Every structure is written in C-alpha cells, then in structure tokens.
C-alpha cells in the first residue's frame, strides 16, 4: 500500500481519515491562506488544498499527500475560524436565519510523478433563527473557536440548524471522505482491498 500523508494539523481531519483504517502520517504545511481579491469561496478552498499538499511534496517522495481546506460563506461573506468567543457570536448572529455554504477543497498529490487531482465539495447548512441567548450559550458550551463558521456539527452545532444539504456530511467537518476514497482508489488505495 502507498505511504499516505495528511497535509494538515487539524484534529478533525485526522479523526475522519483514521475512520478509514489506513496507515498515514500527518504533517502541517505552512502556506499563506489569504484569499486573493475577488476569489470565490470554492476556488479558494481548492487552491489552498492543492497548495497544502504541494508544500510537502519535496519532503515526502513516493507518497500520496492529501491536502484539504474549508471555506465557509454566508451571503457572499467568507467566514473563517473565529478565534475568540466574541467573533464566534458575531458569525453566528450573521448566520442566524440564513444558509451557510461550506466549500471543502481536496487535493491528492502523487509525489512519484507529481501528478495531482483537485476537487471541491459543497455542503450547506440552513440556520434557524437564533436568539442572542441561544448563540451565547452555544458558544459557551461547544467552544467552536477553531471551526470555520463558528460551530461543530458533530457537537451541539446540530441544535442551530433547520436542515443540512449535501452529498457527504464529512464535508462539513472538513474532509469529504466519499470523494477522497474515489481519488485514492484511482491510485490503488482501498481500505477494503
């Protein structure tokens, strides 16, 4: 089986990839994650996923490197990781009663020949109308400070939604496993083989 590297420091992505029972290592790439002026959310997510994977290519010859990045957007505004409780409250207030689209870029680089394939999956969350008390209590309980859009769908975040729409719910957490498995099988990696 090929050597796999997850180009990420995200514990959420590491936990998702571990579900597949594949042997892999993680390594945090260091790239500039700023959006280009006018760059669409999906394009940004795809570009960052590719740059993360390519940033590690020289260090890991004969590996498959998995890069992923997620960009959330609500009504045309990009929502990053809040970092502070105050910013999380601001983001959730902005999202209240609206749809938030999560664009998760995915890239697999084969360092044998430097070929790569990039994809972007979108998953949408429809927020119900939230009160200030609900928002404050949610931020206090779930502490979503390191999550784009200021919630954890695998935690209490589900209490904030009317509905969710998309192909693979893992996309919302940050690693679209269905698409990743498709890309890995093309390179001869199949956890069931």
Catalytic positions = 69
Distance of CA 67 to the CA centre of its chain: 10
Distances from the Cα of 66 to the Cα of 20, 48, 50, 83, 146, angstroms: 14, 12, 9, 25, 21
Spatial separation of the C-alpha atoms in residues 92 and 51, rounded to whole Å: 29
- Which residue do the tokens 């890239």 mark? 107
Provide the strand spans (E) within the chain: 3-7, 25-26, 63-74, 77-79, 99-110, 115-127, 161-166
Task: Give the count of beta carbons closer than 10 Å to the beta carbon of residue 5.
Answer: 22
């Amino acid at each position: 089986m090929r050597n796999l590297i997850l180009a990420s420091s995200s514990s959420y992505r590491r936990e998702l990839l571990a579900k597949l029972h594949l042997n892999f290592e993680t390594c945090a790439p260091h790239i500039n994650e700023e959006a280009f002026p006018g760059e669409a959310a999906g394009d940004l997510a795809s570009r960052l996923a590719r740059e993360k994977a390519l940033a590690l290519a020289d260090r890991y010859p004969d590996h498959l490197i998995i890069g992923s990045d997620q960009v959330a957007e609500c009504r045309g505004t990009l929502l990053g990781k809040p970092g502070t409780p105050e910013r999380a409250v601001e983001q959730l207030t902005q999202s209240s009663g609206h749809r938030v689209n999560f664009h998760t870029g995915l890239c697999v680089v084969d360092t044998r020949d430097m070929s790569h394939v990039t994809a972007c999956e979108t998953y949408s969350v429809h927020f119900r109308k939230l009160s200030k008390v609900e928002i404050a209590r949610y931020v206090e309980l779930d502490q979503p400070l390191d999550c784009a859009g200021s919630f954890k769908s695998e935690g209490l975040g589900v209490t904030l939604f009317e509905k969710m729409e998309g192909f693979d719910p893992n996309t919302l957490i940050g690693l679209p496993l269905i698409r990743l498995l498709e890309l890995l099988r093309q390179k001869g990696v199949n956890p069931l083989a």
